[in-house]
Structure 1
Amino acid sequence: MRLGGRLAAAIEVLSDVEARRRPVADALKDWGLSHRFAGSGDRAAIGNIVYDALRKKRSYGFRMGDDGAAALGFAAVLDGLAMQPEALAATLEGDRFAPQMPDGERLGRFLAADFSEAPDAVRADVPDWIAARLKTSLGERWVEEAAALSARPPLDLRVNTLKAERDKVLKALEPFEPEASDLAPQGIRIAAIEGAGRHPNVQIEAGFQKGWFEVQDEGSQLAALLTGAAPGEQVLDLCAGGGGKSLAMAAMMDNSGQIHAADSDRHRLAPIHERLARAGCRNVQVHDPREDMTGLFGRMDLTLVDAPCTGSGTWRRRPDAKWRLSETALAKRMQEQDAVLDRAAAFVCPGGRLAYVTCSLFADENAARIAAFLERQTSEGFAVADAGARWAAMLPHGGGRCRVSKLAGGTVITMTPQRTGTDGFFFALLQKS
């Protein structure tokens, strides 16, 4: 397909996402199934346009004076491919599949737009109702922090030390120009794609099939590291999902001790079995959602709550989610977080640890949930540990690379794309007396 056809397809997908308020991944998949002539390169290029348009929907709409699907598609091509309008018009000329170029006035506005006149929410590329929440969570520089969520993300991998060393994996992936991660000791990063490019499908590589590495954002790797899961411990991953943090902790524990992986959603939990086998993890026991786990009450050295959340920290990868999110959905997530924290507390042994992690940047889902938990659990003797000191001890080269906030006599951590170079994550560690 030529650029005109790809742009027309992207506009069609954007219209579908807007009209049906559906996940963009589903819309792109359906488009591909109904247009089987499009090759993998075409689908990747169309996806780039769509995702870029959704990442910067507010700012592109401001610059174009129009936030319709066509305007956003053209803005994403001009910006993402670094093209001037004249060059784009010349490229589309004679292409019968190409959409009509915007008029000169609109293109002139796009090129000359002054962001100093734009509202904060526009510069941050977020809905108005979210702006105040991010300001509370991220402080004075919240606009810059939020805007970083609109950039293209890198591809992060975690080396599985049960089977390989980082240098070995770096060499195996050399054609993709990988680099050792800045912070995560077993992390590898493949840079964000540029232009119409696409990330390599690393899951077809021999190293992946052999279990040498997993796809995992560096922030998620750091959250697992901060739990301090140690060899010989009894650990519960209560919201294990696909098992990313369970696998990371199994490697940290050198396959000793025991990790209990559980999740209330069996569909989310299903991939963990294949991943555990491939990674060679022998100390992970997977619990069915219907299973009675009361026998584990009071026995866990570490209970990890990777809580269900709005996913605001992952908007680089799922930009459509920020436009579909509602205050009602946020309130529901907060209720779920309170419930899972209360359940998790029952599993922690005396002197044990409770780690709370979200991939959200909203204080409502993070520090506020910990504060509310402490009010409900006054008789259990939980106290907020100094996560900031833990970060400094484990990552001495990472000073200033996360936001450290005081809470109830301890500190909690927020990771962001701008500060940490990762997805957005919150981490708190509670110690039971």
Structure 2
Amino acid sequence: MHPSARISAAIEILGDLESRRRPASDALKDWGLSHRFAGSKDRAAIASLVYDALRRRASARFLMKSETPRAEMIGALFFARDMSVDEIAGQFSGIGHAPAPLNEAERQSLAAQNLEGAPDWVLGDYPEWLGPHFSRAFGDEAVAQGRALATRAPLDLRVNTLKATRPEMLVELEHLGAQTCRSAPFGLRIPQGAAGRGAALDAEPAYARGMIEIQDEGSQLAAALCRAAPGEKVLDLCAGGGGKTLALAATMDNRGELFATDSDGRRLTPIFPRLERAGAKNVVVRAPRGKNDPVADLDGQCDLVVVDAPCTGVGTWRRNPDAKWRMRPGALEQRQAAQDEVLAKGAAFVKAGGRLVYVTCSLLCEENEDRVAAFLSQNPDFACESAGDSLRLAGLDGLEGAASPHGPGLRLTPARHDVDGFYVAVLIRKG
């Protein structure tokens, strides 16, 4: 497909998203099924265009003075692709499958490059209703944090220390330009290709042999802050597909017991082949069956309980930009209730002197510091470890400014730490 035809396809998919309000991945899949002539490179390029437009939707609409999918795409090419007016006009030629030529109003909007008078939510490309929440969480940095969340995410890998070392994988993946992550001790970062196209890891022997796992550096740091140790009894209460479970198993060097469960057993399905590939042998997966709690026998016995709580996912907007526009205020309230519930459940499994680690991939105070404060007020037998102690005990460096200014815990953000957004609080049960 010609690049201009890919732009037309992306505009079509953006229109589908606007009318049907569904995940971008579903719309992209359906488009591919109905346009089988498009090759894998075409589909990847179209997806990249769609996600760039979603990342910059608010600022693109403001710049173009229009809320149409066409305006979103034009604005995204300008903001996310750094294309000049003439370069954009060259793609909007109206020839063949190219979009119709730019009209005079569109040319003027692009030439003016004017975001003067735009509110913070437009400058930061986040939903208007989240404005007060961003102001509370970030203060004067709200726009900068929003813009960082509107960039493309890097491709980060975690070296599986059960099978390999980071120096070995740096050599193995040298042809991909692998570099060490800034703070994660076993992290590697692969530079992005043109237009955000990532490396084809499925073709890499190191990936097939379980020597590396795809995991954002922020998620790796959250797992490191848990300080799972060989010989401990550990419970991953919201294991899902097993990303953090695998990291914990490696940290434990396959010694001790690591139980992985989730309230929705279907989310555990991907964990089994991942565990086998990674060589993680100390993990026991317990899926829920009926009304019986699959980990009830662990009550009060665990050295560490990890609660990777369900959340709005604000911190993952770089990877899931469509999620921020589908998010509604009611979802935030629902998540808070679920977070309180899972924190209370997790606390019951922690033994005296043990750790309850609360993790979210959100950056909103309502899901993070507020939830920990509410939990501590109801559970005086727990205390929150200071951010400095958590970093020191985990042996982590390069995380300046990670201590939350709003209460207990740590905040990792793309603007400050170049990672997905995460919140981590280490809670200690008093002996």
| TM superposition score category, shorter chain reference | over 0.9
Cα drift, residue 74 of structure 1 = 2.0
Number of the residue aligned with 1:225 = 224
Any idea what SS the aligned residue of 1:404 has? coil
- Once residues 431 and 265 of structure 1 are traced to their aligned partners in structure 2, the CA distance between those partners, rounded to angstroms, is 27
Number of the residue aligned with 1:177 = 177
Number of the residue aligned with 2:149 = 149
TM-score normalised to the size of structure 2?
0.95
1:10-159 mapped onto 2 (5 Å cutoff): 10-93=10-93, 95-159=95-159
- Tell me whether 169-178 or 74-83 shows the greater mean CA deviation: 74-83
Q: Does 1:418 align with 2:420?
A: no
Unaligned residue ranges in structure 1 (runs of 5+)? none
- Once residues 57 and 91 of structure 2 are traced to their aligned partners in structure 1, the CA distance between those partners, rounded to angstroms, is 24
- Once residues 58 and 409 of structure 2 are traced to their aligned partners in structure 1, the CA distance between those partners, rounded to angstroms, is 31
**Deviations for 1:141-195, whole angstroms, at most 9, x for unmatched residues?**
1210111000011000000000001121122222211111010000000124443
Contact 2:120 2:142 in 1 (8 A): no
- Once residues 278 and 19 of structure 1 are traced to their aligned partners in structure 2, the CA distance between those partners, rounded to angstroms, is 41
- Once residues 80 and 255 of structure 1 are traced to their aligned partners in structure 2, the CA distance between those partners, rounded to angstroms, is 44
Supply the AA of the counterpart residue of 2:117: E
Number of the residue aligned with 1:430 = 427
Any idea what SS the aligned residue of 2:359 has? strand
1:350-429 mapped onto 2 (5 Å cutoff): 350-378=352-380, 381-392=381-392, 394-395=394-395, 397-405=397-405, 407=407, 411-429=408-426
Q: Does 1:346 align with 2:343?
A: no
Q: Does 1:292 align with 2:289?
A: no
Contact 2:91 2:98 in 1 (8 A): no
Supply the AA of the counterpart residue of 1:295: D
Contact 1:262 1:288 in 2 (8 A): yes
Cα drift, residue 99 of structure 1 = 1.3
Cα drift, residue 93 of structure 1 = 3.6
> Identical aligned pairs, as a percentage?
47
Number of the residue aligned with 1:209 = 208
Supply the AA of the counterpart residue of 1:112: A
Cα drift, residue 401 of structure 1 = 4.9
- Once residues 220 and 142 of structure 2 are traced to their aligned partners in structure 1, the CA distance between those partners, rounded to angstroms, is 24
Q: Does 1:245 align with 2:247?
A: no
TM-score normalised to the size of structure 1?
0.95
Contact 1:183 1:395 in 2 (8 A): no
Cα drift, residue 131 of structure 1 = 1.2
Number of the residue aligned with 1:278 = 277
Supply the AA of the counterpart residue of 1:343: K
In 2 relative to 1, CA 131–192 (structure 1 residues): closer, same or farther, beyond 3 Å?
A: farther
- Once residues 193 and 117 of structure 1 are traced to their aligned partners in structure 2, the CA distance between those partners, rounded to angstroms, is 35
- Once residues 69 and 331 of structure 1 are traced to their aligned partners in structure 2, the CA distance between those partners, rounded to angstroms, is 30
- Tell me whether 229-238 or 397-406 shows the greater mean CA deviation: 397-406
Cα drift, residue 128 of structure 1 = 1.2
In 2 relative to 1, CA 93–114 (structure 1 residues): closer, same or farther, beyond 3 Å?
A: closer
Contact 2:257 2:284 in 1 (8 A): yes
- Tell me whether 283-292 or 153-162 shows the greater mean CA deviation: 283-292
- Tell me whether 113-122 or 22-31 shows the greater mean CA deviation: 113-122
Contact 1:392 1:399 in 2 (8 A): no
In 2 relative to 1, CA 107–392 (structure 1 residues): closer, same or farther, beyond 3 Å?
A: farther
- Once residues 269 and 353 of structure 1 are traced to their aligned partners in structure 2, the CA distance between those partners, rounded to angstroms, is 24
Number of the residue aligned with 1:326 = 328
In 2 relative to 1, CA 94–375 (structure 1 residues): closer, same or farther, beyond 3 Å?
A: closer
Cα drift, residue 396 of structure 1 = 5.5
- Once residues 111 and 304 of structure 1 are traced to their aligned partners in structure 2, the CA distance between those partners, rounded to angstroms, is 51
Contact 1:302 1:355 in 2 (8 A): yes
Contact 2:399 2:417 in 1 (8 A): no
Contact 1:239 1:306 in 2 (8 A): yes
Contact 1:415 1:425 in 2 (8 A): yes
Contact 1:64 1:107 in 2 (8 A): no
In 2 relative to 1, CA 79–327 (structure 1 residues): closer, same or farther, beyond 3 Å?
A: closer
Cα drift, residue 406 of structure 1 = 5.8
Unaligned residue ranges in structure 2 (runs of 5+)? none
Any idea what SS the aligned residue of 2:135 has? helix
Contact 1:414 1:425 in 2 (8 A): yes
Contact 1:388 1:413 in 2 (8 A): no
Number of the residue aligned with 1:269 = 268
- Once residues 24 and 399 of structure 1 are traced to their aligned partners in structure 2, the CA distance between those partners, rounded to angstroms, is 33
Cα drift, residue 40 of structure 1 = 1.2
- Once residues 268 and 111 of structure 1 are traced to their aligned partners in structure 2, the CA distance between those partners, rounded to angstroms, is 48
Supply the AA of the counterpart residue of 2:362: S
- Once residues 268 and 135 of structure 2 are traced to their aligned partners in structure 1, the CA distance between those partners, rounded to angstroms, is 34
Cα drift, residue 317 of structure 1 = 0.6
